[in-house]
Amino acid sequence: MSDHPLLSVKNLTVQFPSRGAMLTAVDNVSFDLARGEVLGLVGESGAGKSMTGAAIIGLIEPPGRITGGSISLEGKRIDNLSSADMRQIRGRRIGMVFQDPLTSLNPLFTIAEQLVETIRVHLPVSAKEARERAIGLLNEVGIPAASQRIDDYPHQFSGGMRQRVVIALALAAEPELVIADEPTTALDVSVQAQIIDVLKKLCAERNASVILITHDMGVIAETADRVAVMYAGRLAEIGPVRSVIKDALHPYTKGLMGSIPSLTSTDDRLVQIPGSMPRLNNIPEGCAFNPRCNQVFARCTKERPELMHYGNRNVSCWLYDEATTEAPA
Amino acid sequence: MVPQGEDIDRMEMIKRFVDSDLVYKFNRSPVAIIALAVTVLLIGGAVLAPFVTNQNPFDPASLNLMNGFSKPMEPNQFTGDTFILGADDQGRDVYATILYGMRISLFVGFSAVLFAMVLGVSLGLLSGFVGGRVDVIIMRIADIQLTFPAILVALLIFGIAKGITPPSMRDQIAIWVLIIAIGLSDWVQFARVVRGATMVEKSKEYVQAARLIGRSSFVIMIRHILPNTLSSVLVIATISLALAIIAEATLSFLGVGAPPTQPSLGTLIRIGQGFLFSGEWWILFFPAITLLALALSVNLLGDWLRDALNPKLK
Amino acid sequence: MSETLLEVRDLTRTFDMSKPWLNRVLERDGKRFLRAVDHVSFTIRKGETFALVGESGSGKSTIAKMVVGLLPSSSGEILFDGAPIGTGAGSSMRAMRSRFQMIFQSPFASLNPRWKVRDIVAEPIIAFDMVQNRQAQAARVAELLELVGLTASDGSKYPHEFSGGQRQRIAIARALSSNPEFIVCDEPTSALDVSVQAQILNLMRDLQDELGLTYLFISHDLSVVRHMANRIGVLYLGALVENAQARGLFEDPQHPYTQMLLDAVPDVDMTNREREEVIGEIPNPISPPDGCVFHPRCVKAFDRCRVEAPVMVATQYGEAKCFAAENVRKAGT
């Protein structure tokens, strides 16, 4: 095996033009993903997490485009591939699960037709073998009576079952990486729990890596090995999930964790971060979080912090810079 | 103190409009800019006709028959008068007849669209908001209306009106019959679009919030829902205006529209075509070009508005 | 114990889900009804927050709409301060209407995009003739906007100039403008990001303390409900399965469905608490199972559950509709 990480994102920048100006949706984002690892990408709406996922699978909608940085799969760049070459990778080496299962399933074809086609496009097997494989997959994702239901159309499945089918479809060609963008957001909590279990189990069995994009810290806590917190297109903090959740470094992560109502705490008031995330055309100078930060000091408003190493993780906050001589106000 | 506050509001409104996406998109669309310029030029010319022409072509006293058939840009061989776009058989300045004719065309067009709009928007609003049987009845009438071509409906109304009015009145009422005829063939579009928009808006939570405090259906329809349907109404009104101008021209061309005493662009074209093969091409050509320019620019403006107001099309 | 403000008795709502008449004749199919709300009863005391929690199709939003009179009930009673709530327009209904309000789920659809914020907030004031002149109205709107954490000058803006959280503040200001005592909150934060959700939840609690409001809080999110409610009703397929004091419900849930819901909530604190796996899915509400509607998914189900529908029995912290809970109680006494 190579010594490259499975996926390496370096200084990724995605911009799109609006009214003459360029808006930066993903701003200088870097992270690596090891084989078999589950990375949670968490952030609030507009943080750029979905755009990061779209950049990796080469599905950024024009006029948006990657304007800087690189994305490498096993050391080979994939951000500059032609769309035909990228199609070879999508589905075969990178599987996808989206929020709305209906966008991934064609309503005019049966589940069998869609699964068998996906399998045969990417793997050299006969139609009969592909169908057997498909039934096996449906069994694995927990669809009861899979050998009969495989000939049903997507609308004959419930929302949770459809998302199981999408997971089966994403895993059909044995990809090394699965990108799941808000896979459980449209589902009820009880169904969400089931889908998370299935996704986690199947990817672990196949040693596939997962990038799980979500706004829900709870889902991350249940699923991820490492978590990257995004804010205004930038990475705020990235590290092992337990450390980030139990002992957040970045003031934004701290605020975010405090604002989640919990089943066990009995606090009367939730921690609240004042204000809201800036719009892309109005990102403040220096650290993007500085107007909302309760530990802000002079440097934060002038100089933008890059990811810096601190303990077992990376954080982009001047509080953790060794060169910071000024005392926090 | 109070008017000051309102002044600030008005300035704020103007500033907001100048900053709006619509103005931004307009400034970046050459087609829209040219279309608007042509439309403004033509409508402005028509409105200001008495001030930008030397004669009123429909005042027999101002005409000189000796000027008949003057060629464009050439001095008349008898009188020495020069007409930029030539003169017709009776010595009327074609340039002036076009501007005065356009007044009739635009008056009929605007009035017909206004009539269709009021009728269509009210019925569409009612249909979409009340639903049930009212909706079924209104929409079936609209369906039946659509199975007849607009021109046929107009001809029919025109024929009936002709039958029931005394001959001496005909010229006077011709314009109004024209307006009603074109308006009646055009309301369905408004009704359908407004009905659709109303059904979407009706289910939104802000309407429930108004219901909750006991607001009457009438207040909800007029104050809440109507303003939210207006952008699509504006688009249709613009496109309808172009169609109404053409419909008016068609009817007048067929001889069932504006009378020769109050000629519209269509009437001018009808008159002009009699001279086409005898060499006096300008009597037909310039009114026809004007009609084309007017209808096309208004239509392009409408198309652009539809794209600009509906981000989903992009 | 303070007095009852809202009492809901045997509230039921059915929807006709039949195919069109001709299809029914051709396919020899009968009429079909969906019972969205099934004999639901609860009471809310003055100054408390009662939460209804359930998954999609549990009927929680239908109940909310019936309580405020936006949707007529099929049967049952809703008593507000002792008087029945109807959907009519009479003057007594009008007086009652000013006493309750609603906060909606979507901060985008709940504000008319063509209206300025000050007109949105003032609408209930005007509808109930609560001020004498425009100055008083403007002053009241400014006061309300400041109360929810906005500024008076925000009144001259349009809703699209605000973020989702700020829009929900505007919606709250509108709801408060008629000085209501009771507010129905239908998933008020489910469309918001979590940090904004915290702001809105804190604001709602502050307002409750300050103005003595009573809330009916509708949500699918158990952790939010845990944070907001004094008492909680758990809905499954349109029926209440458990109704208990909040703390008790979370510490010792009596109905297996409540237990399942609690187990399904992601463990964001990473406490590694013991949890059962979720079984099955919500059945089709048009043809619900016989007996206890939850029995196909229940780990504690026994023969009786498959044939007989349980009724509410008193539990330590409230009441639950479960034979197993009933047995526990009997064994205990």
As a three-state string, the secondary structure of B88-140 is CCCCCEHHHHHHHHHHHHHHHHHHHHHHHHHHHHHHHHHHHHHCHHHHHHHHH
pLDDT the model gives residue C101: 94
pLDDT at A311: 87
> Number of CB pairs < 8 Å for A and C?
120
Q: pLDDT band at residue A329, thresholds of 50, 70 and 90?
A: very low
**Integer angstrom CA distances of residue C210 from A223, C37, C176, C196:** 41, 33, 12, 21
Residues of B in contact with C70 (CB under 8 A): 208, 211-212
Residues of B with Cβ-Cβ distance to C111 under 8 angstroms: 206
Distance CA B123, CA A300 (A): 60
State whether residue C160 sits within 8 Å of chain B by CB. Answer: no
Backbone angles phi, psi at C24, to 5 degrees: -65, -40
- Which residues on B lie below 8 Å from C124 (Cβ)? 213
Give the pLDDT score at B181. 85
Q: Is A108 helix (H, G, I), strand (E, B) or coil?
A: coil
Structure tokens at B13: 């409104």
Lookup: tokens for B230: 């207006």
- Strand boundaries in A5-56, DSSP class E: 7-18, 21-33, 38-42
pLDDT band at A265 (very low <50, low <70, confident <90, very high): low
Question: What are A319's two structure tokens?
Answer: 């509080």
Kindly report the average pLDDT of chain B as a whole number: 84
Q: Which of B13, B205, B226, B228 to probe by mutation at the C interface, max C CB count within 10 Å?
A: B205
pLDDT at position C233 = 96
C69 → chain B, closest CA residue: B212
Cβ of B215 within 8 Å of Cβ of C111? The answer is no
- What would the 3-class secondary structure string for A158-223 be? CHHHHHHHHHHHHHCCCCCEEEEECCCCCCCHHHHHHHHHHHHHHHHHHCCEEEEEECCHHHHHHH
Interface test with A, best of C49, C151, C194 (most A CBs within 10 A): C194
C226 vs A197, A261, A271: nearest CB: A261
d(CA A182, CA A192): 11
What amino acid is encoded at C169 in this protein? R
Mean of the pLDDT values across residues A230-251?
A: 93
Nearest CB to C89; choose among B205, B206, B214: B214
Tell which wins on pLDDT, B12 or C148.
Answer: C148
Mean pLDDT of A10-29: 90
Assess whether pLDDT exceeds 80 at residue A280.
yes
Please give the single-letter amino acid code of residue A147: S
Averaged pLDDT, A254-270: 82
Q: Which pLDDT score, from 0 to 100, does residue B1 have?
A: 38
B213 CB neighbours in chain C (<8 A) are 97-98, 101, 123-124, 127-128, 178
Interface touch C194/A217, C-beta < 8 Å: yes
Gyration radius of chain A over CA positions: 21
C-alpha C13/C-alpha C268 separation (Å) is 37
Cα–Cα dist C128/B214, whole Å? 9
| Unique residue bearing structure tokens 């109070």 | B2
Name which residue leads in pLDDT, B312 or B75.
B75
User: Does B217 contact chain C (CB < 8 Å)?
Assistant: no
Which of the two residues, B69 and B269, has the higher pLDDT score? Answer: B269
The answer, for C95 touching chain B at a CB cutoff of 8 Å, is: no
B255 pLDDT band (50/70/90 cuts)? confident
Count the residues in chain C: 333
Task: Return the pLDDT at A327.
Answer: 47
Is the pLDDT at A142 greater than 80? The verdict is yes
Of the listed ranges A193-197, A306-310, A311-315, B175-179, the least confidently predicted one is B175-179
Q: Helix crossing, B226-253 with B170-184: angle to 10°?
A: 130
CB contact under 8 A, C104 and B205: yes
pLDDT of B314 > 50? The answer is no
* Two tokens, residue C271: 């406490």
At residue A166 the predicted structure's pLDDT band, cuts being 50, 70 and 90, is very high
pLDDT of residue B8: 65
Residues ≥6 apart with Cβ < 8 Å to A179: A53, A56, A57, A94, A95, A96, A97, A210, A211, A213
Question: Within an 8 Å CB–CB cutoff, is residue B1 touching chain C?
Answer: no
At C33, phi and psi to the nearest 5?
Answer: -120, 145
- Can you read off the two tokens belonging to residue C13? 């709502």
**Number of C-beta neighbours around residue C56 at 10 A:** 13
Mutation choice for A interface testing from C160, C193, C205 by most A CBs within 10 A:
C193
Average pLDDT over residues B33-50: 91
- Residue A76 in this model has a pLDDT that exceeds 80: yes
- In this predicted structure, what is the pLDDT of residue A324? 59
d(CA A301, CA C112): 37
pLDDT values of chain C reduced to their tens digit, one per residue, 333 residues: 468 999 999 999 999 888 778 888 888 777 888 889 999 999 999 999 999 999 888 999 999 999 998 999 999 999 998 888 866 656 777 888 889 999 999 988 999 999 999 999 999 999 998 888 899 999 999 999 999 999 999 999 999 989 899 999 999 999 999 999 999 999 999 889 988 999 999 999 999 999 999 999 999 999 899 999 999 999 999 999 999 999 999 999 999 999 999 998 888 877 777 788 888 888 888 888 889 999 999 988 888 999 999 999 998 899 999 988 777 666 654
Q: Give the minimum alpha-carbon distance from C322 to chain B in angstroms, rounded to a whole number.
A: 36
Contact between B206 and C111 using a beta-carbon 8 Å cutoff: yes
pLDDT at B110: 94
When pLDDT is averaged across residues A191-217 and rounded to a whole number, the result is: 91
| Beta carbons of C282 and A188 less than 8 Å apart | yes
Tell me: pLDDT of B111 over 90. yes
Please state, in angstroms and rounded to a whole number, the distance separating the CA atoms of residues A40 and C116: 40
* pLDDT of res. B2: 43
pLDDT at position A1 over 60: no
Q: Name the band, by pLDDT with cuts 50, 70 and 90, for residue A328.
A: very low
| Chain B with chain C: Cβ pairs closer than 8 A | 55
Taking contacts as CB-CB distances below 8 angstroms, the residues of chain C near A197 are: 277
Say if residue A122's pLDDT is above 90: no
The reported pTM is: 0.88
Can you give the pLDDT at residue B294?
93
Contact B9 C156 (CB under 8 A): yes
Residues of A with CB below 8 A from C223's CB?
260-263
Which of B204, B213, B227 lies at the smallest CB-CB distance from C124? B213
Residues pairing with A24 in the sheet: A15
pLDDT of residue B313: 44
Residue B136 has pLDDT above 60, yes or no: yes
Which tens digit of pLDDT belongs to each residue from B145-162? 888 876 787 778 778 887
- Does B7 contact C at CB distance below 8 Å? no
Alpha-carbon gap, residue C97 to A212, rounded angstroms: 46
What is the rounded average pLDDT of the residues B271-300? 86
Please name the residues between 12 and 51 in chain B that touch chain C, using a CB distance below 8 Å.
Answer: 12
Give pLDDT, residue A270. 86
If you average pLDDT over residues A147-152, what whole number do you get?
91
> Confidence class of residue B85 from pLDDT cuts 50, 70 and 90?
confident
Residue B10 DSSP class: H
Which chains reach chain A with 3 or more Cβ–Cβ distances below 8 angstroms? C
Closest by CA position to A190, among listed A213, A162, A154, A160: A160
Angle at alpha carbon of residue B128, lines to B126 and B133, rounded to 5° = 75
pLDDT of residue B3 exceeding 50? no
